[in-house]
Structure 1
Amino acid sequence: MARPAQITTEMEQEAMRLVKRAKTARELRTGLSVLLPKQHGLTNAGTGESLGVSIATILRMQKEIRQRVDGTAEQKRKWGGRRRQLMTVEEEKAFLEPWVAEAEKGGVLIVPPIHKALIQACGRTIAPSTVYRLLARHGWRKIAPDTYHPKRDAAAQDDFKKNSAKQWRKQRGKTPQTYRYA
């Protein structure tokens, strides 16, 4: 037989207040995770099935209400977020400042110097893909090169096209060797 949920009357009252002022589905489910077992005798598994969440989520929601009643409610969740970050977003922004100035001048940035600087800043080895993700996180993108050289001389190119031979002559006696595969 399943273990019955340990729900006090204070928890039930807090859950009723939460259900009445609920603005999101999560708040409503949190309140119902206490009310359904207390008022209708459902097990945690039955409550989870009726609310469409797992038993672990039901227990987490009940714990949240229990902590509210006891006054020991956690201010911050322990799950989600960037847990394995090397730097905060503000630190990353400060780290990229020198390269922003160079990019605004029209300079071409390459990843290896940024990668070396990031390794020095963090004091450990870092994969190059981390640099690409850092740049993407701050709105940097790879720009494809132009189809022509920026310092080209268009007049010289047109002159070459007009004055060059229409067909190239074959050089006599110099044919490429043919290779046979066995």
Structure 2
Amino acid sequence: MARPASGEEHLELARNAVRIAKTADELRSAQALLLPLELGLSLEQTAIAIGRSKGKTCTLRTNYCKRATGRMAAPVAKRNLRNRANRSLEEEKVLLQEVFDGAGVGGVLVVPPFADKLRQKMGVPLSLSAIYRMLARHGWRKIVPDTTHPKGDSLVREDWKKNSPGCWVKR
């Protein structure tokens, strides 16, 4: 036989929290306490009703009681950032303008030389793919394909083109 649900001392607080909840998490947390006490639901039934696992429902109940008694701080509001983002879009835009200040004025931007400068400004390690995704988010795009190696000699290349053997010609 399962033990009876506890938390009757927080029942009125949970009823009020259900009425004034602004987020789904706040609502679920209050419902995890309220449903077993008001309707006599088991933990499994409560979990199904609020759409969480049995373990998560139990955690929601105990955390709600801890917050009500003051043994636990209220959850801190989430940052207003995208998933795993280091900066907001506005901060990224300003940062890119600082690092690539003269790059968009008619020249071709080569990212790897600027990558270290950008990493220093951000203060976090960034892969080249993360930098390219950041540039794409802010409207930068690859305009000219990289057709030659930067350390290559154009005269030697042209000389080779002119004097290459004719073995490539179809007979």
1:19, distance to aligned residue in structure 2 (A): 1.9
Deviations 1:82-113 (A, max 9, x none): 7866x544764554233442145333222212
For residues 159-181 of structure 1, what are the alpha-carbon distances to aligned partners after superposition, in whole Å with 9 as ceiling and x for unaligned? xxxxxxxxxxxxxxxx9344xxx
Matches within 5 A, 1:74-113: 74-76=74-76, 87-89=86-88, 92-93=92-93, 95-113=95-113
**Rounded Cα–Cα distance in structure 2 between residues aligned with 1:31 and 1:8:** 12
TM-score by length of 1: 0.58
Partner of 2:115: 115
- Which amino acid in 2 is paired with 1:176? V
Instruction: Report the structure number with the largest CA radius of gyration.
Output: 1
Structure 1 residue 14: Cα displacement:
0.9
> Offset at 1:129?
0.7
Q: How large is the Cα RMSD of the aligned pairs?
A: 3.8
Identity of aligned residues (%): 35
Could you give the per-residue CA deviations for residues 103-161 of structure 1, whole angstroms, max 9, x where no partner exists? 45333222212223235557886421121133244x2331545xxxxxxxxxxxxxxxx
Unaligned runs of 5+ in 1: 146-174
Normalising by structure 2, report the TM-score.
0.61
- Cα separation, partners in 2 of 1:35 and 1:125, compared to 1, 3 Å: closer
| Corresponding position: 1:43 with 2:36 | no
- Residue of structure 2 equivalent to 1:163: none
1:17-47 deviation per Cα after TM superposition (whole angstroms, max 9, x unaligned): 1123345544433322111111232222110
How many corresponding residue pairs?
Answer: 147
Judging changes above 3 Å, is the alpha-carbon distance between structure 1 residues 6 and 116 closer, same or farther for their aligned structure 2 residues? Answer: same
